[in-house]
Amino acid sequence: MADDFHRPTHFSNDWFERVEGDVDPVVRLQLASETANALLARVRAGADPEVVERILRVAREDGIDIVAELWSGARPHSLPGALWRVHLLHALVTQRAEEAAHLYQAGADALPTAAPVVAGVPAPATPAELRTLSETILRGVFAGDFALALERAAAFAIVTAAGAVQLAHQDETTHPDRASARTKLAARLTDIAEDLRICGRLWRSDSLA
């Protein structure tokens, strides 16, 4: 399976925008659903630790963008849609680790909710701890409680979004462009968090397809 995914994923500043391809939209959505279901079914059915670790290694070292691009256009509240959002968060943590840790810690300091506890990152957050969280979430997707993995990913997104808002406020006067970018990131992360929460509920009710 690892040999099927070899191109690294690199996102520009607008990396949260949907990936548009030249595949017919109907075929693309069908492929997205089939690949998501096949990947999850194959791995979760046996829960082979070696296979799970191989997938984690591929995600960590090479990315899974060949398949993930198919998931990018899927409905938000679908299995491929959920996997795409987890993939985006994983890419944020692995490719922008220092920034992600800075945003997450700012959010954890500001939020009076249990989201940081649900996410499970000790304070102060470091890039290494966020990478560990990301791999824990991925491991849960492929071998553990899938709904819980989605809920932890949603909590991470909420905390990071709160941090982006806090730091955007600080940047408004001195770094307006960065403030604008962080505000947009916060809005996208908030949407992702809500979509993942809904997907988690659908999975628990056996309604996520």
Residue 142 has a pLDDT of: 77
- Model-level pTM? 0.78
The stretch 75-89 carries a mean pLDDT of 91
> Is residue 182's pLDDT more than 70?
yes
63 Ramachandran zone, left/alpha/beta (phi>0; psi -120 to 50)? left
pLDDT reading at 77 higher than 90: yes
> Nearest Cα to 171, choosing from 179, 183, 180?
179
In sequence order, the 6+-apart residues with CB closer than 8 A to the CB of 155 are 115, 116, 118, 119, 193
pLDDT tens-digit profile of 152-166? Answer: 999 999 999 999 999
3-state helix, strand, coil in the chain (%, to 5): 75, 0, 25
Residue 181: band (very low, low, confident or very high) from pLDDT cuts 50, 70, 90: very high
Does residue 54 or residue 102 have the better pLDDT? 102
In the predicted model, is pLDDT for residue 67 greater than 80? no
Task: With a cut of 50, say whether residue 96 has pLDDT above it.
Answer: yes
Mean pLDDT, the chain, integer: 79
Q: Which of 4-18, 40-54, 104-118, 184-198 has the lowest mean pLDDT?
A: 4-18
Query: Is residue 32 within 8 Å of 80, Cβ to Cβ?
Result: yes
